[in-house]
Chains A and B, each alone.
Chain A
Amino acid sequence: QKEVEQNSGPLSVPEGAIASLNCTYSDRVSQSFFWYRQYSGKSPELIMSIYSNGDKEDGRFTAQLNKASQYVSLLIRDSQPSDSATYLCALITGGGNKLTFGTGTQLKVEL
């Protein structure tokens, strides 16, 4: 089982809709979770971090964490074409020594 699993997509949503991106993980002791956005040909950039169970909102982005079920998700409200990118889920594993990334979900927001 992979440490961090994401559906590779592409996930297509119409402009203005809510995009829901999901990630599951295997390491029960993971405490820190992150969402990075990567545009085609560019490097990843951090958009959200979450450490506690529940929801964390930042503008149009909401991260959700459920440690009991070992999943973390990212909701993007009012999706825009500029949100089209690959979204990477990442978490601290190995006793806090390193960040492990999922393979990413490609999101396409269509006009």
Chain B
Amino acid sequence: EVQLVESGGGLAQPGGSLRLSCAASGFTFSNYEMNWVRQAPGKGLEWVSYISISGSIIYYADSVKGRFTISRDNAKNSLYLLMNSLRAEDTAVYYCVRRLDNWGQGTLVTVSS
């Protein structure tokens, strides 16, 4: 069974940083592209970032470009999202998504003073 477990969410101050992690199991992590998708409270879905199997190809949404960094460690079956210069509008549940098929349960990030 595919499992994606996000962690690292919480309360951060505007301008602060958080690092999200996603632990993958139940499939060969190194064979799959990965994404982060977020959902602000009561709102729709917004794609955040993509990373290729090897990590050599990376894309970001314009709204996070220059502030967020996606990475992966295939040896540890893990995906990461380093979020710097956080803004109130970054408040959302962040989902780790395998390719665009299987989704984790999400981790809530709240940016507030």
Chains A and B bind each other: no
Interface positions of B (Cβ within 8 A of A): none
